[in-house]
Amino acid sequence: MKKFRKVLDGLTTSSPGGTMGSPSCGSAAGTPTAAPTPRDIDVQETLVSENFQLCKTVRHGFTYQPTALAFDPVQKILAIGSRSGGVRILGRPGVDCYCQHESGAAVLQLQFLINEGALVTACADDTLHLWNLRQRRPAVLHSLKFNRERITFCHLPFQSKWLYVGTERGNTHIVNIESFILSGYVIMWNKAIELSTKTHPGPVVHLSDSPKDEGKLLIGFEGGTIVQWDLRAKKADFRIYYDEAIHSVSWHHEGKQFMCSHSDGSLTLWNLRNTTKPFQVTFPHGKIQKDGRKESCKPILKVEYKTSRNSEPFVIFSGGLSYDKAGRRPALTIMHGKAITVLEMDYPIVEFMVLCDTPYINEIQEPYAVVVLLEKDLIVVDLTQSNFPVFENPYPMDIHESPVTCTAYFADCPPDIIPILYSIGAKHKKTGYSQKEWPIAGGTWTLGSHTYPEIIITGHADGSIKFWDASAFTLQMLYKLKTSKVFEKPKLGEGRGADLGEEDPFAVQMVSWCPHSRIFCVVGISAHIILYRFSKYDANTQTVSLEVRLQCEPEDIITPSENENNPCFSEPGSHSPQPHHQYPVSPGSRTPDGAKDSTPFLKVKDKTVRVPPGYQSDLVIQLLWVDGEPPQQITSLDINSAYGLLAFGNCNGLAVVDYIQKTVILCISTVDLYGATDPYQRLTRSPRRNRQSTSEHCMRGLSNFYSDSKKRIRTSYQSLTELTDNQQSIDMERSKSPTSDHVNGHCTSPTSQPCSAGKPRIPMGPEGPRLTRRGPGRPPFRKAQSAACMEISLPVSHTEGHASRRAMLQQLHGVTMYSHDEHHSTASYCWNERESRENSFSRSRSSSVSSIDRDTKEAITTLQFGESYGRKSDALPTPCLWVGTSLGVVILIPLSIPMDHEERMEDPVTVGPSGAVQMLKGSVLRFAFLDCNGALIQSPYEIWRDQNAPEDPDRPRRRKLVHFSPSSSQDAFGEGHLTVVCSERQAKVFLMPSQSCLFVHNITESSFVLRADVVSLCNSVCLACFCANGHVMTLSLPSLRPLMDVNYLPLTDMRIARTFCFTNEGQALYLSSPTEIQRITYSQEMCDNLQEMLGELFTPIETPEAQNRGFLKGFFGGNAHTFDREELFGEAAAGKASRSLAQHIPGQGGVEGMKVAASGVVGDLARARIALDERGQRLGELEERTTLMMTSAETFSKHAHELMLKCKDKKWYQF
């Protein structure tokens, strides 16, 4: 417990104007209110540095760029490897673990030590790793780095400690799994093949021991050579030379036959009795053409040959389709007897694996399912039913169904919201799944004690919204909302639809959600906002549409009449000067383009439609084209259900909408917000060229995440939505381009100016004519940015200074950001238009615009409704709107809202003149309000009521509001509250209504803040920040004392910056890849309890006993059970391998490493359990030795007794 007291002496009275021009703030001295002075603020801060620790918790979604697959048939857990070196281990729902190789090398192959709680991974850097899965956080026990050979294939026999490793040179090495040391036993390629063979057989593509005899190893070479190697005799039993390349081999369980798949689309069946030619050759998909020749087919990449006790064998393979059918989708073929079933897949098949009841390869396999790993999905097919249905996947593998463009995270939600959303979403679930339980059911997971309702919301490129239940480290989709249903579908070939083409005009840019009132707001890429209300009943509704004119030029602005005291604000209901209401067409725009002015991008459905239960659209707000200019994207949004107001802004201005009365109450330019007290001296703009038509590319949306034959990923200018491995880098000069588009969707037009706004209207006229090609220097409407697909190399070092910050901001905030601490150092740029157009993230704008125009661009970056004091003279808090801009300016706008229910429905909401103006360094990012005790003041909200519910005449519907007034949360300190403001560089705490600055903290000098939020933690609050240099920081409130600063994640791509968000209870998330969500915690308490909240991967299970083979099979089936690998591969028999061949690297996953990794009671129990297991193993070995010694002693005693009896009666001379 720490007590912080701030005392300011020698305070002087400052006028309101004095606080506008400088970062310093006025004091409370001289104010006529009873608000506390700074010396009265005495807040007991409970958070200390020991409350914070940063660590990853869990990762959700589909493994990005998967490469390998493995399954433990006894433990029933599945492992998936990825190209980035990640390993995902899945069990029953709740058992989900992610591991990462430090090298980042792609995972080539995975091998479980079946029922041993361990996993072997082979990576592209020719390193083998042994992972310990007997702990909740798997770790590497051993690593073995091959120096001279490349690993191509691995095979680990069941219940064996010797791993066979095939290499690119064709050699086969053997590794001891226990010690991870290479054996001296090596099968050289030149000994495996005949000496007369003149060509190299190629890399090893298959290794397996014979089901009939474990002492026989089958080696498959890529060139078509197959060798059965006798491990005891160290020679080849037989060699097969086939003309076609081999991709895979699969044994029949009796060990008398095996099947191969080849590059010409054929399957060959070989019998060991005669290996001179294949017993059978089939082309499953190769038909005989008219000329008698077979169709050419694609390679069969993998085949599995599985037997069944009560039916014909299963032959399952991928590939092998004929080449002549263009556009045919990838397929998995199941041959069961004479029946051939082709299962077409949506994406290419990476790997598949047949799941069987037994782990023994010499028993009847009895396959029951097949796991198919696709490039962008994971499916499991039920083999026990004739129609082969798929299992319903319990994991959230469809996060990337459409590219994720934004995220929101809500912890500690109202407990009733998750069941309601689930009940509504369950009605729309797909059917036709297998009725059997999910077969991957390994591990154990229990609901932890530290659980509370959590919801994650993802917005997508196709306009869809997904609500996810994220409670207890799990993720399950609750409800899906499609925003595109509000609009008419753009028609290809005519009107605006021709310009939209196959792009994504409905892409979601940001969301705002009030869980208490269930009001939901969506901002789209087409400069539109949709407001939704929740209802449990279906209804016939017609969506109301408002159109807002928030873009015009300075020459069009007409000075307001002199009787107005403040030029920024007019009477309620009025907006800008009357000439704007008429939308006059200038002579230069009387063209086909001119007719499209005052029209939005999309057309709202004007018919009454039947909408299902759930979120139902109530209002659509769209920004209009002005003089051939597309509307700039919306950069900030806030909604308050208690006030019934919605505020949004972009780089041109601010608008406030009354969504209850469906009217616009304020529409004003950013410059006019200041009135006569503008803190900046804004210079005259350079002359504009004549406007020409703009819009062949007015809407360039997200490229679809899934490419097909009709729509491929577009790469015209290094699209931000490409899913490639290459990260785009920007050199410093290109980064300085002030005209680059960026991620948050802010305006980038250097020729647009803030303006007074036109009167919004209900759309009545017909759709405008078709848009034509844009003129020079005019930008296309910015392409919808997919957060799932943005990668950039960003300089964040201190030496690169402002250029680094500017490069990042242009990509993240979309406007030439300018703050007062930089305006002397950013006066001009050396910028090459052609170079920027070819190398920057998007098409650049005209380079003829002066740097003055660029520097004075100002966007509304954040908005917040709340109860506050609009002016220093206010005695009581009133509804206010806090406005933050990209220039670091904070503006406070008082609102007058009728409180009576009937008056609120009819009387207009009025807006007062601008109140406080404060200054910070960098763009303003976040507002929050505290009472004078340091407690967080929540925004007022309306209690949810279903507007479609049957009316009760005895209980008329009235709005029920919940207010959190500053005066109601404190008694000892009188009236007043604290306002926390965070910008890119700085955080400040102001005392209201005096507007005095109590605390200031410069968060960073060499970087800048990307995301900031005031969050609750341990019954207190703090300010959490994520910086561009990868640092995650927390500051105490209200003193802004640093509590944590961790260099967590270097920001190498824009996806993280776009999707990173904090929430309460010390949690945060971001999109770690285009398909995965990574959740982290910065709470020490959660880190301590993390072990018990995660699932257990390994559970003690008895290994199933092998079937009794019978006397005849045991007698004639060979001596498979007498094979001792230790005698052949041990150091005593095989010697030591060359030290230069491979290097052993000890890992940190053993007991020693776990002592560091594990913590708390759970870690102690885990260590104790492992110690007991090791002690039990040693005792078992000791018992075996003791038994042997006793047996030996008894035998010796018996022989001695027999010898004594024999020699008892003999004389000495008879010996």
Rounded Cα–Cα distance for residues 804 and 797 (Å) = 8
Query: Higher pLDDT residue, 965 or 940?
Result: 940
pLDDT score for 1110: 58
Q: Which two tokens stand for residue 712?
A: 């491929």
Between CA 612 and CA 451, with CA 398 as vertex, the angle to 5 degrees is 85
More reliable by pLDDT, 14 or 1026? 1026
- Looking at 50-146, which runs of residues are DSSP E strands? 52-61, 66-72, 77-82, 86-90, 96-100, 107-113, 118-123, 127-132, 139-146
Beta bridge partners of 521: 512, 531
Q: Give the pLDDT mean for 860-873.
A: 91
Under the banding of pLDDT at 50, 70 and 90, the label for residue 323 is confident
pLDDT given at position 508: 96
Q: 36, 973 in Cβ contact below 8 A?
A: yes
Task: Give 440's pLDDT tier (boundaries 50, 70, 90).
Answer: very high
| pLDDT score at 305 | 96
Q: Is pLDDT at 653 greater than 60 in this prediction?
A: yes
Higher pLDDT, 1201 or 590: 1201
Q: Are 509 and 701 in contact (CB under 8 A)?
A: no
Query: How does DSSP classify residue 243?
Result: S
pTM for this prediction: 0.78
The reported pLDDT for the residue numbered 1022 is: 96
Give the span between the Cα atoms of 158 and 1103, in whole angstroms: 11
Q: Which of 40-44, 852-856, 1086-1090, 1189-1193 has the highest mean pLDDT?
A: 1086-1090
User: How far apart are the C-alpha atoms of 74 and 114, rounded to whole Å?
Assistant: 7
* 553: Cα separation from own chain's centroid: 40
Greater model confidence, 36 or 1126: 1126
Q: pLDDT value at position 1064?
A: 94
Residue 693 has pLDDT above 50, yes or no: no
- pLDDT given for residue 683 in this prediction: 54
List the single range of 36-50, 891-905, 1163-1177, 1199-1213 with lowest mean pLDDT. 1163-1177
Q: How far apart are CA 817 and CA 1080, in angstroms?
A: 30
Angle at 1099 between CA 362 and CA 119, to 5 degrees: 60
Which of 198, 171, 173, 170 shows the shortest CA–CA distance to 184? 173
Residues 1051-1072, mean pLDDT to the nearest whole number: 90
Give helix then strand counts, H and E, for the chain. Answer: 17, 67
Q: Are 1098 and 133 in contact (CB under 8 A)?
A: yes
Top pLDDT among 270 and 912 is at 270
Percent above pLDDT 70 for the chain? 70
Amino acid at 354: V
Beta bridge pairs of residue 919 = 889
- Least reliable range by pLDDT among 35-44, 387-396, 753-762: 753-762
pLDDT recorded at residue 1165: 55
Separation of alpha carbons 922 and 1006, rounded Å:
13
> What pLDDT digit, counting tens, does each position of 976-1009 carry?
899 999 999 999 999 998 889 999 999 999 899 9
End-to-end CA distance of the chain: 96
Provide the 3-class DSSP secondary structure of residue 801: helix
Q: Which of 861, 769, 847 is nearest to 815 (CA)?
A: 861
Among 727-741, 875-889, 1106-1120, the least confident range = 727-741
For 672-688, the pLDDT digits (tens) are 888 766 666 565 444 44
Q: How many CB atoms lie within 10 A of CB 509?
A: 24
Residue 565's pLDDT band (boundaries 50, 70, 90)?
very low
- The answer to whether residues 32 and 1057 touch, using CB atoms and an 8 Å cutoff, is no
- Mean predicted confidence (pLDDT) in 1188-1208: 82
**Residue 827: Cβ within 10 Å count:** 10
Burial class (CB in 10 A: 0-12, 13-18, 19+), 470: buried
Residues 777-809 have pLDDT tens digits of 333 333 344 444 433 334 344 434 444 444 444
Task: Round the average pLDDT of the chain to a whole number and report it.
Answer: 77
pLDDT band of residue 580 (cuts 50, 70, 90) is very low
Three-class SS string for 810-843?
HHHCCCCCCCCCCCCCCCCCCCCHHHHHHHCCCC
DSSP state of 164: E
Of 293 and 811, more confident: 293
Span 396-403, average pLDDT: 92
